[in-house]
Amino acid sequence: MPCDVHYELSGPDDAPVLVFSNSLGTDLSMWDPQAAQLADRMRVLRYDIRGHGRSPVPAGPYSIADLSGDLVALLDRLELDRVSICGLSIGGMTSIWTAANAPERVERLVVCCSSAHLDPEGTYRERAALVRERGLEPIVDAALGRWFTAGFMTRAPEVVEERRRNLLVTPVEGYAGCSEAIAGSDLRGLLADVRAPTLVISGRDDPATPPEHGRLIADGIAGARFEIVDDAAHLANLQQPEVVGALIERHLLNS
């Protein structure tokens, strides 16, 4: 059953709508740089995926289909018939599922630092079990090491600390349930069903979803464009906000 997820909507009422979907262990604030860049020309809709931020925390496990159902329900609630979607990591998986299964709702698609299939799936099930047993503290340092390069962590400690705090207040069941959604996900068979013009972005230094994962997505979606962002790990939109923002803007407004 879909959740009534928490959202923020800004920008001109008559502008095209862009939906941002967040990653595992973050909330809608991860898109602050891109929302600020685009809000004068697009109607920007950000939301917290279930189990994160201020959204409800149903009992897990979840599936990518569940998360897509939440997104479509949000669009219905706001009476938005057709939107562009940009998702990162699990948000990217949700975006792919939605574009493949509800193509009439998706104008354009941006998939950032994501994967159609992550192996071994046991890694995410183990992580879900760990956080249910011991909370999020044991996984924080490893998560930050995937999200940002070592050089960026030295250059921008304030950004890293903000993400640390944000991760630590993520509900345990929400993090665990979404980890199980990733574990059970294989979107490779859906890629050919995506008809929306698609941009796939990978961080060159992303250890969680390396560029070959982005390349597989782009190769599977007809006409998709693939871009690699240098000096960027998993949260490429925060490590290279201007570069990622420009790529999104060009794909949505200048294609």
Residue 66 lies in a domain: yes
- Strands across the sheet with 198-203, in order? 7-10, 43-47, 17-21, 83-88, 106-112, 198-203, 225-229
Distance CA 21, CA 68 (A): 10
Q: Which residues contact 223 (CB under 8 A, 6 or more apart)?
A: 197, 198
| pLDDT, mean over the chain | 96
Grade residue 28 by pLDDT with cuts at 50, 70 and 90: very high
199-228 per-residue burial string, b: 16 or more CB within 10 A, e: under 16: bbbbbebbebbbbebbebbbebbeebbbbb
Q: What is the pTM of this model?
A: 0.97
Q: Is residue 153 one of the residues assigned to a domain?
A: yes
How many domains would you assign to the chain? Answer: 1
Domain that holds residue 231: 7-253
DSSP per residue, 98-126 = HHHH-GGGEEEEEEES--SB-S-THHHHH
| pLDDT value of position 255 | 62
> Is residue 247 included in any domain, yes or no?
yes
Q: What is residue 254's predicted lDDT score, i.e. its pLDDT?
A: 81
Residue 2 within a domain: no
Tell me, what's the pLDDT at 201? 99
Residue 81 pLDDT > 70: yes
